[in-house]
């Protein structure tokens, strides 16, 4: 037999080691361990406790880079202090740009929809790297903090192509893009624009889009309307948890984070410290995530056999304590043992997984790149400087502030055209009923449109210097035209 495929493994914190033991028991019974070898990777609370603010040891990073695969249990992040979420860190560090989750009604798991006879079976593809999850935050004034939201065209293209390719592979005929492009016209607007562009490469797939708030309402009313939904990061995070609630909770929601080189398969529920060590946790979410991993590496036959065994086990009324049922609940390893005993059985009340013939590893570990990879979508786009937004911390009334800024810019190429506060225009027009805080955006634009394309950034820097001599400047953003179109948004009420 050829060498086994190596996969980095971290059991996780809290109930993690218990549910991981249960899943590995099932894998062993199904013959999976004949093909793979798990390599320990140290992460989580113990690493945080050693003073490592990332929660991930250097050795673990190296192991994941070498194998290209990580199977992990739930991870704890310290409350307070400087430690950030391990889950987010891992996805971003290894560019696992697409989060794939499958939400499906399971036999024996009682929900509002199972009672109503409404089938739930859809996928969520969430962009995993960008958006507010960049965690770029600043305190700007005494009263105002900001979080910078970054959306890139290459990031959009990656996740949309993944969604379409996955839909093709799974036989899904319709993909829906959800967004808030009616409000965030540039960031979500780009996400939607790239979805529509990429859709041209997949004419056999029906596409549509829906505003995020309408999607949430639709999911609660008729989740069977959707087959696959692709969303930006933050919205995708929220919708994923909402969708988990439709099928019984996060304990039944598998998760995979897929990148070009590295893929991470994990349980996304919490560490449940209140029941840790009691042997009563439900391993289903981690098991289902493991099945996505098996399909990813080529062991589709084994994944289908285990999946059918799980469904047959649930149909027989065998369940852990978090599931309502007529039979008494069983403990974690008892449940794992029952699934192992059902290997080779088919469910009779729900559609079984097709057991194919693909049963050998096809995954190849990544080749380590020699440098960071730069991704581009738009190249050689004509760019012209047309002004600047200068952000000022002040309690000065808008009309007084405008008068002073006009004096500052009187002799330069720019004129003050707008003051806004929390995104709403307060000068040259507005309403005195608009309440303000100590943070204003002052927009300066070219006095003479003929100067467009004839000046660079230096005049905006000179303007910034003059404003900074008299005001508390908190931020600065040059305004540019890209291929003749403004690269900036209007204020509310403008």
Planar angle of CA 297, 300, 302, nearest 5 degrees: 105
DSSP characters for 181-229?
TTTSTTHHHHHHHHHHHHHTT-TTSEEEEEEHHHHHHHHHH-GGG-SEE
Rounded to whole angstroms, the Cα distance separating 104 from 11 reads: 25
What residue has token string 């990073």? 61
Residue 113's nearest CA partner among 246, 9, 14 is 246
Residue 345: C-alpha distances to residues 182, 207, 236, 340, 354 (Å)? 50, 37, 35, 10, 12
Convert the pLDDT of each residue in 124-151 to its tens digit.
Answer: 999 999 999 888 999 999 999 999 999 9
Rounded to whole angstroms, the Cα distance separating 271 from 299 reads: 28
Residue 151's nearest CA partner among 234, 216, 84 is 234
For residues 9 and 71, the answer to whether their CB atoms sit within 8 Å is: yes
**Residues facing 387 on adjacent strands:** 445, 479
For residues 479 and 414, the answer to whether their CB atoms sit within 8 Å is: no
Domains and their CATH numbers in the chain? 5-341 (3.40.718.10), 383-486 (3.30.70.1570)
Pairing label, strands 69-72, 263-267: parallel
pLDDT per residue rounded down to tens, the chain (494 residues): 568 999 999 999 999 999 999 999 999 999 999 999 999 999 998 998 888 888 999 999 999 999 999 999 999 877 655 567 888 889 999 999 999 999 999 998 889 998 888 989 999 999 999 999 888 999 999 999 999 999 999 999 999 999 999 999 999 999 999 999 999 999 999 999 999 999 999 999 999 999 999 999 999 999 999 999 999 999 999 999 999 999 999 889 999 999 999 999 999 899 999 999 999 999 999 999 999 999 999 999 999 999 999 999 999 999 999 888 889 999 999 999 999 999 999 999 888 888 888 899 999 999 999 999 999 999 999 999 999 999 999 999 999 999 999 999 999 999 999 999 999 999 999 999 999 999 999 999 999 999 999 999 999 999 999 999 999 999 999 999 999 999 999 998 88
Q: Is the overall model pTM greater than 0.85, yes or no?
A: yes
Planar angle of CA 207, 213, 217, nearest 5 degrees: 90
57's tokens: 């040891």
The residues near 415 (Cβ < 8 Å, ≥ 6 apart) are 406, 409, 444, 445, 446, 447
DSSP characters for 223-248?
GGG-SEEEE-HHHHHHHHHHHHHHTT
């Amino acid at each position: 037999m050829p060498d086994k495929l190596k996969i980095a493994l971290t059991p996780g914190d809290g109930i993690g080691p218990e549910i991981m033991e249960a899943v590995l028991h099932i894998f062993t019974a199904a013959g999976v361990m004949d093909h793979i070898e798990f390599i320990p990777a140290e992460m989580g609370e113990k690493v945080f406790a050693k003073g490592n603010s990332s929660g991930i040891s250097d050795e673990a990073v190296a192991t994941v880079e070498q194998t290209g695969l990580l199977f992990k249990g739930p991870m704890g992040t310290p409350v307070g202090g400087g430690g950030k979420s391990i889950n987010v860190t891992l996805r971003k560090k290894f560019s696992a740009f697409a989060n794939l989750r499958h939400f499906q009604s399971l036999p024996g798991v009682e929900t509002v929809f199972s009672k109503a006879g409404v089938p739930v079976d859809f996928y969520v593809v969430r962009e995993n790297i960008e958006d507010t999850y960049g965690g770029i935050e600043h305190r700007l004034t005494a009263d105002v903090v900001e979080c910078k939201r970054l959306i890139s065209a290459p990031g959009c293209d990656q996740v949309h192509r993944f969604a379409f390719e996955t839909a093709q592979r799974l036989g899904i005929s319709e993909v829906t893009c959800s967004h808030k492009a009616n409000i965030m016209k540039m960031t979500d607007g780009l996400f939607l624009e790239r979805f529509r562009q990429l859709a041209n490469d997949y004419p056999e797939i029906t596409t549509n889009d829906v505003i995020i708030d309408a999607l949430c309402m639709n999911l609660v009313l008729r989740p069977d309307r959707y087959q696959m939904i692709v969303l930006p990061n933050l919205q995708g995070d929220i919708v994923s948890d909402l969708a988990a609630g439709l099928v019984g909770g996060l304990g039944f929601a598998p998760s995979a984070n897929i990148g070009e080189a590295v893929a991470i398969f994990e349980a996304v529920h919490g560490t449940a410290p209140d029941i840790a060590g009691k042997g009563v946790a439900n391993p289903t979410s981690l098991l289902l995530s493991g099945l996505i991993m098996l399909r990813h590496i080529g062991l589709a036959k084994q994944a289908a056999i285990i999946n059918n065994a799980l469904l047959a086990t649930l149909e027989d009324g065998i369940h852990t304590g978090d599931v309502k049922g007529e039979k008494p609940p069983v403990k974690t390893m008892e449940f794992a043992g029952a699934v192992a005993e059902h290997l080779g059985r088919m469910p009779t009340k729900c559609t079984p997984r097709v057991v194919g013939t693909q049963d050998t590893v096809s995954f190849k570990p990544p080749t380590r790149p020699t440098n960071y990879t730069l991704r581009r979508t738009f190249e050689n786009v004509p760019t012209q400087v047309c002004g600047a937004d200068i952000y000022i911390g002040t309690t000065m009334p808008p009309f007084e502030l405008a008068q002073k800024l006009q004096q500052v810019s009187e002799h330069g190429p720019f004129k003050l055209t707008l003051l806004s506060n929390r995104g709403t225009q307060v000068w040259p027009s507005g309403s005195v009923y608009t309440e303000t805080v100590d943070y204003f955006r002052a927009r300066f634009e070219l006095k003479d449109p003929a100067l467009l394309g004839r000046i660079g950034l230096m005049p905006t820097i000179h303007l910034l210097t003059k404003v900074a001599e008299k005001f508390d400047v908190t931020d600065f953003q040059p305004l540019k035209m890209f291929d003749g179109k403004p690269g900036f948004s209007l204020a509310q009420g403008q």
